[in-house]
Structure 1
Amino acid sequence: MRSLERHRDVAAYALGVLDEADAFRFEDHLMECPSCAAHVTEFGPATRQLMLYRRATPRAVHPMAKPGPRLLDRLLGEMAGRNRMRRRRLLFGLAASAAVALASPGIAMMASDGGSSARKVDATDERSGVWAQVTAESEPWGTQVELKVKDGAGPRACRLIAVGTDGSEQMVTSWTTSRHDARENTMMGAAAFHPEEIARYELRTSDGEHLVTLENG
């Protein structure tokens, strides 16, 4: 897969239509391309709406039936709305930061994440020896995830999977551990699930080997 083709495969990867080999190669590309990683996250709302459409579609409907123009218009409208909301939050955040900086250092010291709705879970698997911590923050389009991992058994390619309360799965992020490096690594990822829709997180190798489970209780 050439470099330009990798960039073009963002949508196919986000919607889960790449075959396993191409998906694995694209995940390697994601670790080196912040632009593609950002685009994958932006596809979260569209992916979630298509999943909801699939669940709500009666079995009598032919599996190859195409969504009507109303659904497509709604998806495009939601994507545009999310982008506008994201830009507004960025501008408000910059304005608030500037106000705090101009006021006094003492005000900045009062800030804390005590009111944050983030959920944090961690676990260590006795068999694999892998430790992981997930911090999940609810977003309008789903869940923003920060993952911290200690894994000294590399090198190996790994994935963080969000398992929904309905049993469905979504890949949150992927990475490659260095050789015999047990230092803490931090990655960012996202899922179209909302936090309350996630039953647990599972770390697995690209070959499907289970490394550690984090219950989202």
Structure 2
Amino acid sequence: MTPEVEHTDVGAYALGLLEESDRRAFSAHLAGCPSCTAELAELSGMASLLAGVDPVEDERDDGHLGEAPRAEVIDLLRRKKDADRRARKGAFVIGAAAAVALVAGGIGVGAAVFGDGGTAPIAIHSTRSPAEDAYRQGTPIAGTGLPGISGGVVLEKKGWGTHAALELKGVKGPLECELVAVSKTGERRTVTGWAVPEKGYGVPGSPRALYVHGGTALSTGDIDHFEVSTTSGKTLLTVKI
């Protein structure tokens, strides 16, 4: 038995299509070939595939199929096995992509803001939120806040307007706030809104800053300043552009 026959006749062996001498040789080969043994296990129960294959009568009297049907059956088995392998590979790729999306944590929200053909997208890291990434990787413009309150804004020019990321520290809740872009003509556009819990952000006992981001149709050149305001109308931070 040649090396090629040893590794390619698993299907024929499983269906009893090998000559007796080849069958014995292949049985001996299985004892030392884990890959063929595994492949043989995969082909268990494959007889159902032959339901639509009509045997062709030949002059042999050993009850086996002739050479032409044997080739057709083995080809069918190999094609099915290849298809199964491709399907398993595809499932792995999809699973890996899903795992990356889960690890990214909220990347879908950022994608709607970043990927639009504007300026180069800001890289996203799985260890931080998209808003914090956008702020940390940009050039912050510091704002002026009420006593104890500080923060800044990072801007990104987009084809549809302006993407803004905010850092805010020194606020306690409960509060409801919003980031507003104010144009040079006085037009006000809400960029995003959020709630501040009682423990607050960037304060003793809760030192982590708040990071949020959003977009406005106003172009960067048309914006005069940003305001962080409460829903009651109190301005906490002003960022002049």
Considering only CA atoms, is the larger Rg found in Structure 1 or Structure 2? 2
TM-score using structure 1 length: 0.45
TM-score using structure 2 length: 0.41
Q: Which has the higher contact order (CA 8 A, sep 6+)?
A: 1
